[in-house]
Structure 1
Amino acid sequence: MDYKAYRRRKLILCIALFLSLLAVSLFSLSSGPYHVPLREVLAVLLGGGGKDDRLVLLGIRLPRIVAGILVGASMGVAGAVLQGYLRNPLATPFTMGVSHGAMFGASLAIILGAGYSLNSGQVFLNNPYAVVLFAFLGAISATLVILALARLRGLSPEAIVLAGVAMSSLYSALTTLVQYFANELQLAAMVYWSFGNLARATWRENAIMAVAFALIFAYFLIKRWDLNASTLGDEIAKSVGVNIERERLIGTLLSAFITSVTVAFVGVIGFVGLIAPHSMRLIAGGDYRSLIPLSALAGALLLVSADTVARLIVSPMTLPVGVITSFLGAPAFIYLLVRMEGRR
């Protein structure tokens, strides 16, 4: 009976998160400098509505919201998995140097000739897919180096996190070096790319992110028992038949891969992979059978909400969504750090 009540609570929480995400998404669709009443929003989603409403909702706002859901869910799942395999509550996709590697790759693409232009005081990338490709290669390269070291030298989970910090520092230095030799327009383009911006994602980018998320989400669901075993320590995991070194390497690589895909398309957005898993762990516990889907829903809800605030707080201007998530994430990071020290 207690187990049935336990599962019922998890199901209720999932439904509550899903309904909250749906409500925030509808509010985001309706709100903005061009206000669309909720009944018109529903009419457009059902295939009707006026031409202007359809253009704004389906061409501009809906792709942005879908991107927020996919990016937030991807980062939430990646953060939950890394924290489990590395047994470190501060581990996130960006601990592996993903964001810094992406920033270096994008900066390198721009200084090597990726097109950019200045229009009405704003910088536009004329060849964004070249920047996306270089950003992806930079993001995944840091993780591949760390995983190669872990494989060859048998690094512990703590050492893997420290190696990620070292790679982040290295890529930050390389980015600074590239920026030093950039001209004013190139530097402006680099800074523009570094701002997390969900508006960059079109339906094509959303489709790519959706396929990547679906495959990796399914894999981690299959491996949920291995994740539960890994949180109890390597010896216990091995005693129940889990090849913990192999699973840790694969899980870390896939988490970094799904993060690098999203970062390459929308830029750097931090702390979602930290806040979403921890909030769900505090509410629902650390059972990965439920933590993985809950972290996905919580990450999606967090990022869509943050992006809605970023669009509306100084409307008609739009703040980078990374600013909002950083305001939320910095106190959460400090809280977790103090909590970890208090347990020692």
Structure 2
Amino acid sequence: MIDVGIIGGSGYTGGELLRFLKNHNDINIVDVTSRQYKGTKISKVHPHLRGMDLEFKDVSADKIDADIVFTATPHGASMNIVPELIERDIKVIDLSGDYRFDDFDVYEKWYNLKHSAPLDAVYGLPEVYRNQIKDAKLIANPGCFPTGSILASIPIVKEKLVDTLVVDSKTGVSGAGIKPTEATHYPNLGDNVNPYAVTTHRHMPEIEQEVVKFGDVKVSFTPHLVPVIRGILTTVHTFLKEDVSSDYVKEVYDAFYDDEPFVRVLDLDEIPRLSAVRGSNYCDIGCFQIDHNGRIVIISAIDNLVKGASGQAIQNMNIMFGLPEKESLDVMGMHP
């Protein structure tokens, strides 16, 4: 059995880690930490986990005895925890943004934080870095927006069909975290669509960092908050450099994601739906429609808390320990 710890288990991503790990055949959860809820049963914070016989603990990183630890902590907090775990030869999957960038100067610029503990990490996108993930000690779990955006973009960038990507994402409110804010207050969110960080979102350089590894492209990104709980629907707009058909582009995606367990390339002209991936670790990619100006539209859908966070983290854990990749994650979406 693999002993697993979760640091920061009281948020939405912590709850999703627990939901999937509960049915994992090869793991034993040894610690779930939360200073605020020390001694509180997990089901009091995560009511959907009623029946899990666990309580939150206030345990420092140097006291956790595990084979792997998920750090579901805020940006800036993980860098104070991860080095201690790595030094003790504990594998780590970090769900914050602290280790996602190849260049830590980029992190400091976009997150407005000084990085106190740079470490080498593998970017945890299995569809691209599976071989590196197998031998990694530290995984930087991708951001939710980048996951859907990168997966929707890589095949056409790799094929050298485009040189500019305009990425437009609509996200559910759970992506803002468990603490309510003015932006997530229901009267401000309901019956509304709210663009934010229109040209300055910190996930833009993360998207760009990964897609430029496949081709010379420029990336622009704008997120919108919409009145749904879960999901990110990403629309990638770009103008084709060559006169190719939608059928050809779809074949490019079919070939790139052939045998990928959690990417589903939909039928031509089929539009991905949030409800089809809600609660699941799947990324659906579809549309592939081309207008009269040569603009192609590609759309992806993920659950921001699963493939965009905790599900992908467990997928990475399975790869790291040589387990079946779909172990505990083989669930369909929840449409309608």
TM-score, scaled relative to structure 2:
0.26
TM-score, scaled relative to structure 1:
0.25
Which has the higher relative contact order, 1 or 2, with Cα contacts under 8 A spaced 6 or more apart?
A: 1
**Structure in which a larger fraction of residues adopt helix:** 1
Larger Cα-atom Rg: 1
